Amino acid sequence: MEGTMQPAAGIIGTATLPSGLRGDYDRAQADGTLPEAALAPRTEADHATWRTLVSRQRAIYPGRAASAWLDGLDQLRCEGAVPRLEDASAILRAATGWSLVPCPGLLPDAQFFGLLASRRFPVTHWIRKPEELDYIVEPDIFHDFLGHVPLLTQPDYADFLEAYGRLGLHAEKRGQLAPLARFYWFMVEFGLIAERDGLRAYGAGILSSRTETLHALSDAPRRLRFDMARVLRSTYRIDDVQPVYFVIRDYAELFAAIETAPGLLEAAVMAEPIAPGRGAPGDEDWPG
């Protein structure tokens, strides 16, 4: 997705979906996943589109993509064709106990959180058309798989995402989805991590977009030290690259943040949201 990022599954903040979505929702099962019989076969055009997208992104990853994410991408061996979810699931189960399930696209929050809580990651089945290489409105398999799946080979991150799903089920019942969506946006889709050789991107919304990958590690945006309370109050735009990114020191930090989240979510619901790109008292700029 080039330059923009529409809301991904699980961060819509509603029990229903917008109308006019692209996927085959009529054939989805109760948990939001698609049965085997509903999966259209891949065409050579699909595989060619996948190879083009991966090749373009691979060229800009050196010095920008997180090392654990790159290791996961290498483990998945998915560059030559649109990946088979069952093959990737076998790799993930051996590494972290996760598996992948096909879905029509965006999912209502309850379905999304339920899948994450059971270590099942939903991946959109369809892939964009060749004329959509530089912009697509809804997340497709390229965003979902290439952006999100590599880090599911990393134990700390895999544990965090399961915990996020369980927290989401709790937050949905308490009317706290808006701040939890901000956490997903900034720390799952657009997160940065400090590594020995400098800042690197691990967020799916960055690493599945050429524009966002180049922008996130440039001198243009502001980068702040991750602070859970700050993130939960930080609103975002979906129609442009990010003006602000948050930086973690390791993936275990995300898991630890989940433990503090219940009390912070309640406070964030009551607090004044922070507008996109705007500063706030206590902000700690990341050096360099």
Going by the annotation, the residues of the binding site for Fe cation are 143, 148, 189
β-pairing verdict for 192-195 and 198-201: antiparallel
Among 194, 199, 191, 186, residue whose Cα is nearest residue 64: 199
Torsion of CA 86, 91, 97, 98, to 10 degrees: -50
Is residue 11 within 8 A of residue 107, CB to CB? The reply is no
Joined together, the tokens standing for residue 5 give 């990022």
Q: Which residues are annotated as a binding site?
A: 143, 148, 189
Classify 247 as helix, strand or coil. strand
Rounded Cα distance, 104 and 111, in Å: 12
Question: Angle formed by the axes of helices 155-173 and 109-117, to 10°?
Answer: 140
Among 76, 83, 118, 117, residue whose Cα is nearest residue 102: 83
Rounded Cα distance, 174 and 190, in Å: 26
Q: What is the DSSP letter of 204?
A: H
By the 10 Å C-beta count (0-12 exposed, 13-18 middle, 19+ buried), 263 is classed as exposed
